[in-house]
Chain A
Amino acid sequence: MNAFADGIASLLDLQVLLGLLLGLALGFLVGAFPGITATMAVALAAGFTLTLEPVQGLAVLLTIYVAANFGDRVPSILVNTPGTPASIATTLDGYPMAKQGKAGLALTVSAIVSAIGILASLVIFAAFAIPIATIARDYFKSPELFALVIFGLTIMISISSKSILKGVLAGVFGLALGTVGVFPATGDQRLTFGSLDLWDGFNFIAVIIGLFGIAELFDQLLTHHASKIKPISSLGRYWPTRAEVKRMGRPLGVSGLVGLIVGLIPAAGGDIAGLIGWDRAKRISKHPEEFGKGSIEGITASDTASSATLGGSLTTTMALGVPGDSVMAVMIGSMIIWGITPGPDLFTSRPDLVVSITGIMLVATILSLGLSLVRMKGMVKLLDVPQHYIWSAILIFCIIGTYATTNSFYTVGTMLVFGVIGVIMKRTGFPAGPVVLGLLLGPLAEENLSRTLSILPTKPFLEVVSPIAIALLALSALSLLLPIIRRARGPKGERGKTLAQSLLDAEVADIDAAKNDTRASASTTPEK
């Protein structure tokens, strides 16, 4: 059988179908509850899926990833609160539309363009994953792989950190965590303190559930306050008119392209793409003054761009082994436990997986779109679920999910400790993403650095370290230095911005203006 037939055959399994349905339900729920991110949900589900076959597990995790991308638009539109960071830009026009009595229309448009964005990005994945992996396999030896890890880590640091120094410290902390355990090359024990539990290092699933799940929960416990905004329950009409469909065309094309490009950048996710896509669409619109005030073009642009990142993100994750976003970092951890290591060798040795993953994403997108179009009334009720249920459920499922990975209370303790560390990091402005990436990729970096250094004395430098490795290292240095230089040269207000923010001053200014408009109208318009 060829790869295509193998890939399709692995999907024809009842457990894969059940996984899809489970992922669909979980993804929608986590998306709809503000504060529960897709990363948290995938991290949590990773504990449940360890005993499954890889394709069955991927069906659950990838469907959560896709469905959360639909569910998170609901609170953005109805309560002006993003369900996950990827739907931040949705609030700019979604909530004003809802206040104008067009919530149903906003939800429908959002669901349709999200589906189009994901499907377009899947074409990128299906077409480019194997060629990128093949190029990487042929040209990426130890020095290039080391440089690639450093590149992925520095991009994550520069995108996720307001302070580069804090981001680098978080990355070093993650890499340092990755050194705990037995050093494979010599069998020496490092920082195990005589504990057998530490021989294999920190349990990755426990760390990510702690940093992304428990820490997020703890932060909500610390900061929760009663919201003054009531969900908008009057949905109005659902379907766009022909004229509205016509207006959606240009923003769909422009922002879709933005999303596809941003998705291919390691660590850049739907939140950044949504904001850039929204701004680009505003610039080419015939009605830019409507943006931020309930523009159908605005919601089309933000949701197409943020959704179109999924395929690109998947491509860099699976083909290069460098996570496209934080959800993908968690996904890599789960895949490694299943015995699959994302990276250049994966798709060249298992091309059927490209077909399986594309198939899962395709079915998940279609199911999510269908559910999005029929569930709207019910979703409004979900937004009223009291926090005490959500918090209690998250905590108990984090505990049980983590325990299930090893059947050990030590693992649960690790999760709890990293939850505390995570909330402290969050409150003090240290990003969690670089920690996870450092822990995940640290052993790979050390192994490839070791190989490179052992080859270096035997051959000329430029014969060992190729221009690809030098370029990646130069880009890594640039990604860290650029924000520092811009901040040093810029006005005082420039400090404390991420790379994306510092590069996108104009976009940020536009978006701030739109947010202020929304806030002003929210404070002056009485709730229905």
Chain B
Amino acid sequence: MTETRSETGDEAVVSDTADADIVAQPSRRLEIVAAAVALVFMAVYLVLVLQIDLRRETGAGQIDARSWPTMLGVLGVVIAAWRLVYAFVRPPADRDDLERLQKGGMRRLISTIVLTVVYLALWQVRSIVAFGYNIELFVFITPFFLFALLYVYGARSWKTFVLFPVITTAFIYVLFGMLLRIPL
């Protein structure tokens, strides 16, 4: 058994060494930031719902388009503020149901999001006219998207780079484009 310090340094956590490598550690800073973001979100929501334009007044006892969202906004602000105070005054909750971030994990995640956004932006173009033909972009950009994902995820075999993207794209095209008639 070893003793390790949490991210904030304010709480000693005794844990098994093997588990400490895998399990996420409690973090007061994370709890505070999460509660503050929740508070800001709910406050902005409350301000926005109070500005909802009503086309007509409702009858006595009836609720209008603002009433329910306003109730939710007030409740959300109160709970988020309570949570923020709680995050300051109480020790952070354990996170033993979560695994710790691994080296390279953030790179994989950000690369995936960027690649996906680029893929969607290109796919939105739908088709281009080249060499006198109307070329559907989906069948060309999807294999490259999959290739890039495989590379980011650590694949290095040329068979993987060629076969998986081509077969998967063909499968999607046949299933969705031809059988289900989804305009890809």
Q: Which residues of A are interface residues toward B (Cβ below 8 A)?
A: 48, 51, 162-163, 165-166, 168-169, 172-173, 175-176, 179, 183, 185-191, 218-219, 221-225, 386-389, 391-393, 395-397, 399-400, 403-404, 407, 409, 412-413, 416, 420, 423, 426-430, 446, 449-450, 453-454, 456-458, 492, 495-496, 523
Contacts and interface: CB of A to CB of B under 8 A. Distances in A.
Contacts of B64: 183, 186, 188
A416 B142 CA distance: 17
A446 B60 CA distance: 17
A388 B154 contact: yes
A456 B64 CA distance: 16
A457 B63 contact: no
A395 B168 CA distance: 12
Contacts of A187: 55
Contact of B62 (A222, A387, A453): A453
25 contacts: A48-B180, A165-B83, A165-B86, A169-B76, A169-B80, A172-B72, A176-B76, A188-B64, A221-B108, A222-B109, A223-B102, A387-B153, A389-B164, A395-B149, A403-B182, A404-B182, A409-B120, A412-B120, A413-B120, A416-B116, A429-B93, A449-B63, A492-B91, A495-B91, A495-B93
Interface string B48-64: 11001111101111111
A392 B150 contact: yes
Contact of A449 (B41, B68, B94): B68
Contacts of B76: 169, 172-173, 176
Classify the interface of chain A: helix, strand, loop or mixed: helix
Contacts of A51: 180
Nearest to B74: A172
Contact of A186 (B41, B56, B113): B56
Contact of B168 (A162, A183, A391, A393): A393
Nearest to B38: A169
B61 A453 contact: yes
A221 B104 CA distance: 9
Listed from nearest, the 10 A-B pairs whose CB atoms lie closest are: A388-B153, A188-B65, A496-B93, A183-B65, A223-B99, A222-B105, A428-B34, A221-B108, A172-B76, A179-B69
Contacts of B63: 446, 449-450, 453
A391 B180 contact: no
Interface residues of B, number: 76
A396 B94 CA distance: 34
A399 B31 CA distance: 31
Most chain B beta-carbon neighbours within 10 Å: one of A175, A400, A416: A400
B83 to A, nearest CB: 4
Given A190-B65, A222-B102, A392 B149 contact: yes
B176 A179 contact: no
Contacts of B146: 392, 396
A218 B142 CA distance: 20
B89 interface: no
B153 A396 contact: no
B164 A223 contact: no
A396 B101 contact: no
A400 B99 CA distance: 29
Contacts of A190: 49, 52, 65, 69
**Looking at chain B's contact residues, is the secondary structure mostly helix, strand, loop, or mixed?**
helix
A163 B91 CA distance: 13
A428 B30 contact: yes
A272 to B, nearest CB: 14
A223 B101 contact: yes
Interface in B132-184: 142, 145-146, 149-150, 153-155, 160, 164, 168, 172, 176, 180, 182-184
Contact of B172 (A188, A225, A400, A457): A400
A94 B68 CA distance: 49
A165 to B, nearest CB: 4
Contacts of A225: 22, 99, 102
Q: Tell which of B59, B97, B101, B112 has the most Cβ of chain A within 10 Å.
A: B112
Contacts of B150: 388-389, 392
A484 to B, nearest CB: 11
A186 B58 contact: yes
A176 B65 contact: no
A176 B72 contact: yes
A473 B79 CA distance: 19
B32 to A, nearest CB: 11
A496 B31 CA distance: 13
A165 B22 CA distance: 27
A52 to B, nearest CB: 10
A187 B64 CA distance: 10
Contacts of B128: none
B119 to A, nearest CB: 8
B1 interface: no
A7 B91 CA distance: 56
B130 interface: no
B79 A172 contact: yes
B88 interface: no
A223 B101 CA distance: 5
Given A188-B55, A222-B101, A391 B79 contact: no
A423 B58 CA distance: 40
A391 B183 CA distance: 25
Given A392-B149, A428-B34, A399 B106 contact: no
Contact of B112 (A188, A387, A395): A395
A494 B123 CA distance: 51
Contacts of B69: 176, 179, 190-191
Contacts of B42: 169, 172, 176
Contact of B52 (A166, A172, A188): A188
Nearest to A51: B180
A423 B106 CA distance: 12
A412 B138 CA distance: 15
A423 B24 CA distance: 14
A191 B50 CA distance: 10
B172 A396 contact: yes
B95 interface: yes
Contacts of B142: 396
